[in-house]
Amino acid sequence: MVYAQNSATLRDRATVTGGDVGVHVAGTTLLVSGYELALVSGAKVDTTHNVIANRVLLQGATVGDVQGKLTPLNSSIYGKTYAFPTSMPSLPTLAPVFAGTMALTVANGVTTTISPGTFGRSRSAPRAFCD
């Protein structure tokens, strides 16, 4: 699941399984001009789940149903479209986050399980998968 306050972008073959992707409110500070939620460059959301935002851009993406004003481009695949809900759940209160110093790198084509902890700079190569 991905749930943002004002704006979110998934790109470069990012894949979300097991949850919806949504944006809480219609934002004024947007990561992609004109859209609260943008899924581009082969991004995928499990087609049994929804993408939810006031304005949604799909550009070469695959998703389930869309709740919001949709702009589909470049052969995007999506389910049914619905209006953006009149209200969205509040975002959860988050605990403070403190960065560690240990670097985390996942190499190209590697699948790894990451133990809980604090990390410094994190990098993952294309086709790297982290649990």
Q: Give the residue extent of every domain in the chain.
A: 2-82, 96-131
Q: Residue 15 has what pLDDT? A: 93
Give the pLDDT score at 108: 86
Nearest residue to 28 via CA among 9, 6, 51, 10:
6
CA proximity to 68, closest of 25, 12, 14? 25
Amino acid symbol at 21: V
Taking 80 as the threshold, does the pLDDT of residue 131 lie above it?
Answer: no
CA angle 33, 20, 36 (to 5 degrees): 10
Q: Report yes or no on whether pTM surpasses 0.75.
A: no
Residues 84-130 pLDDT 10s: 999 889 888 888 878 888 888 888 888 888 888 788 888 888 877 77
- Give pLDDT tens digits for 33-64: 999 999 999 999 999 999 999 999 999 999 99
pLDDT of 59? 95
pLDDT of residue 20: 95
